[in-house]
Structure 1
Amino acid sequence: MKERLAEAGPNGETGLSLPFVVYGTMADPRWLDPTLEPNERQAGTSFIGIPSQVNNSPIALARFSSLRSWLSQWSIDETNASTVKFGSQVTVPALVVTAGADNAVPTTHADLIENTLSGEVSRHHLVGANHYLRNQPEQLAKAATTVLDWLQNRGLHASCN
């Protein structure tokens, strides 16, 4: 991809970031087999729908991309959005919230974040919560309260009362 970005376009243009379509972005065995990185999620689902349907629809995660945006966000080697690469530089307090029935982010990702950050890390787990807390107003209230309490306890947010 980096080589293609460096090439001139048909009229000599430079810096072109050509768009492309990506298929199968929800082709993750974890969405079908709940014994892989188990949690409370329902087998055969993902945070945006049934994986086999989402893999062949226009609404999938990262379905449309460009050379530059793919390298920036999704490339393991090129992205700057990497806790593994940069987590040790985070020295401020952090709150990691996990959802018990998360059907998008495996618990091991939260473990990696927690173990990589250099500052104080607090962790909160929402039992039974899905990724976006969709149709879970009680879980949403718990998540909001958790974040507000965490901020207030550190003097980072004034009380709303």
Structure 2
Amino acid sequence: LAVGEPQETMFRVLDEITSQLPTDKPRYLMGVGKPDDILGAVERGVDMFDCVHPTRAGRHGHAYTRMGVINLKNARHKDDPRPLDELSPNHNCRRFSRAYLHHLVRTEEILGAMVLSQINLAYYQELVRGCRAAIEAGGLADFAAQTRAQWSQGDLPLL
């Protein structure tokens, strides 16, 4: 599982197998790395994940935020002084301008990959922390719907 099959197939298999796994033991899904895959797997009872995706995405100029994935290679960010996400609890999301991150990515400065990897890992931690809190409060379905609604709004409009 999680070796390149479509998300729909992965979720169908998870629907079949998670009901057969013990509920008093952690459920681990290896290699699942996109936020929507993680959210869907949590909805199906999976507890733990590991994947290189957040750092690989960072090395390729992609940043994960509450608005979805932002491709900082795109020219639209070249002169954009705004932060990635001014409401993020992550300092680096608020600290660096999109223009500066675009510059780092385009010039292949190692700092760009490092900062974007950190931003992505922090976002993933925030996502899973939100899942945990929602499960404890009995509101995972609402949390998942709100999170997906934010992703579907997309990035900020052009300046």
TM-score when normalising by structure 2: 0.27
Higher relative contact order (CA 8 A, sep 6+): 2
Higher helix fraction (1 or 2): 2
Larger Cα Rg: Structure 1 or Structure 2? Answer: 1
